Amino acid sequence: MGIIEQGMNKLREKTNKEKTNDFEGVINSPYSFFKYTLSVSIQKLGLAAYKKIKIKNAKKKYS
């Protein structure tokens, strides 16, 4: 096996281990895409501890 093939195998293994985010079947979740993009940005910055930030719906029901 050549060096290029070894590198490609390592890349495939890394890609298979990555978390997949599937939004198929989501009916009503307005912030799911926002939370996903926020968490991706935070992970890229190396601030994984802040991934637990929860976005709450700010809409108020008036009676």
Give the domain extent around 48.
27-55
Q: Is residue 15 part of a domain?
A: no
Q: Is residue 14 part of a domain?
A: no
Amino acid at residue number 43: Q
10 Å CB burial of residue 42 (0-12, 13-18, 19+) is: middle
The reported pLDDT for the residue numbered 3 is 74
What span, in angstroms and rounded, lies between the C-alpha atoms of 55 and 36? Answer: 11
Q: Is residue 5 part of a domain?
A: no
Give CA 27 to chain center in angstroms. Answer: 19
The reported pLDDT for the residue numbered 29 is 60
Q: What is the pLDDT of residues 5-63, one digit of tens each?
A: 777 777 677 665 555 556 566 565 666 666 766 666 655 665 555 555 555 555 556 55
The reported pLDDT for the residue numbered 8 is 73
Q: Is residue 39 part of a domain?
A: yes
Going by C-alpha positions, the residue among 15, 21, 16, 55 that lies closest to residue 35 is 55
The reported pLDDT for the residue numbered 28 is 59
The reported pLDDT for the residue numbered 7 is 73
The reported pLDDT for the residue numbered 9 is 73
Q: How many domains does the chain have?
A: 1
